[in-house]
Amino acid sequence: MNRRDFLGTATVGLTGALVALADSSAQPEPQDRGTAWLCVTCGTQFPSAVHPPPACPICQDSRQYVGWNGQQWTTLDELSKTHENEITEEEPGVFSIHTKPNFAISQRAFLVKTTEGNVLWDCVALLDEKTKAEIRRLGGISAIAISHPHFYTTMVEWSRVFEDAPIHLHELNRQWVMHPDPSIRFWSGEVKRLTPNLTLIKTGGHFDGFQVMHWSRSRDGNGVLLAGDQPDVCMDRNWVTFMYSYPNYIPLNRAAIQGIVAALNPYSFERLHGAFIGQFLTKNAKEIVSRSAERYLAAIS
C-alpha cells in the first residue's frame, strides 16, 4: 500500500468537478442555505454554508497537509456521482466499508455486528443510497465511535440517517470537531464501555483523545482490536507502528509509546483490524503490538 499515491490521485481526479462547484456558488440566490462542504484532502464535512470555509483546520494541522493544488472542496452529492462504497465481510460480524476509487485519506469504516447492537467504527465521507440500503440490510447502526479527527468525515450525516445514533468521541479531541451536532457525546477518562463486550480505550498518541475499540468476545470468542491508524499495520503484517503524523513522518516520543502500550495492556486481542485495505493481523496481534513498541523505542532511543 502506498498511501501517498492514494492521496495524490484523489486530489487530482476531483479537480475538474471542484472548479465547477466553486463557480456555481459564486452568486448564490438569497434564499440559498448552502451546502455542507467536504474537504477533498481529509473528507471532513463542515456545516451548511453558501460558500466553502476559508480553510480546513484538520488539514492545516501539522499531522495532515493541504494538497498540491491548494484547498479543494466538494459535496456529498458530487462525490456520490463518481465514487461508490464496497462493503466486505472481514471476519464473522465485522464488515469493512471502503470508498472506490480512493477518496481523501482512503481509510475504511467498519460495521461491527454484536448481539447488543451494531456499532459503526470509524467513518468514511461517502454515504449514498446503496450504502444506506446495505447497512440497513445488515441491521442498521445503533452507535458510532471514531478513533480520531482524520476519520470524523461525515459522521453527523451517518448519525442522522441511522436514527440519530449517538457518536462517541473522546473529549480531548473536542476542538477538532468541525460539524458540531447534538448526536455527538464526548466522554472523558481512560475507558468507556459501549456494550458488555465493546469498550473504547483512550490511548493518546497520534491525537490526545485517540481511541481504539476492543471487542472482547468476537464470534469465535477471541478478542479483536479495531485500531484506526494507531497502531498502524506495517507492510509485512508482522509489525505495527505509531506516528504523530503519518504523511509528514513525525514520530511519537517514548512516553507516548509507553502510554499506548499501557492503555492496551489489560485487554487481550488475537486479531487487529487497521484503517487501510489489507491491514488485518489474523493472529498474535497483541504480541505483535508489544514487540513493535519495543522495536520502536529502540529506534528512537
Q: Residue 222 contacts by C-beta under 8 Å, 6 or more apart in sequence?
A: 269, 270, 271
Cβ burial of 220 (10 Å; 0-12, 13-18, 19+) is: exposed
Inter-residue contact 289 to 231 (CB < 8 Å): yes
Binding segment (CB under 5 A) for Zn ion, from list 55-63, 157-165, 176-184, 292-300: 55-63
Taking residues 225 to 254 in sequence order and writing x for each that binds Zn ion by CB under 5 A, - otherwise, the string is: ----x-------------------------
Closest CB to Zn ion among residues 42, 227 = 42
Mask 69-98, x = binds Zn ion (CB under 5 A)? ------------------------------
Q: Which span sits near Zn ion by CB under 5 A: 11-19, 37-45, 93-101, 184-192?
A: 37-45
Q: Candidates 2-10, 12-20, 38-46, 81-89 — which segment interacts with Zn ion by CB under 5 A? A: 38-46
Per-residue binding string, Zn ion, 196-215, x by CB under 5 A, is --------------------
Which stretch in 31-39, 110-118, 193-201, 278-286 sits in contact with Zn ion by CB under 5 A? 31-39
Alpha carbons 204 and 230: distance in angstroms, whole number:
9
Which grid coordinates are listed for 14?
476531483
Contact set for Zn ion, span 101-120 (CB under 5 A): none
**Distance separating alpha carbons of residues 94 and 164, to the nearest angstrom:** 22
The interface region with Zn ion, picked from 20-28, 74-82, 161-169, 224-232 by CB under 5 A, is 224-232
Among 56, 97, 124, 225, binds Zn ion (CB under 5 A): 56
Rg of the chain in Å (alpha carbons): 19
Among 83, 98, 108, 150, binds Zn ion (CB under 5 A): 150
Q: Does 125 bind Zn ion (CB under 5 A)?
A: no
From CA 96, how far away is CA 249, in angstroms rounded?
27
CB proximity list for 115: less than 8 A, separation 6 or greater: none
Segment interacting with Zn ion, rule: CB under 5 A, options 16-24, 36-44, 115-123, 167-175 = 36-44
Compute the least distance from the CB of residue 11 to Zn ion, in Å: 11
Region of 2 on the Ramachandran plot (φ > 0 left; ψ -120 to 50 alpha; else beta): beta
Among 18, 42, 79, 256, binds Zn ion (CB under 5 A): 42
Q: Supply the minimum distance, in Å, between the C-beta of residue 41 and Zn ion.
A: 5
Q: Is 58 in the site for Zn ion (CB under 5 A)?
A: yes
Q: Is residue 178 a contact point for Zn ion (CB under 5 A)? A: no
Q: Which residues in this chain contact Zn ion in the complex, by CB under 5 A?
A: 39, 41-42, 44, 56, 58-59, 150, 229
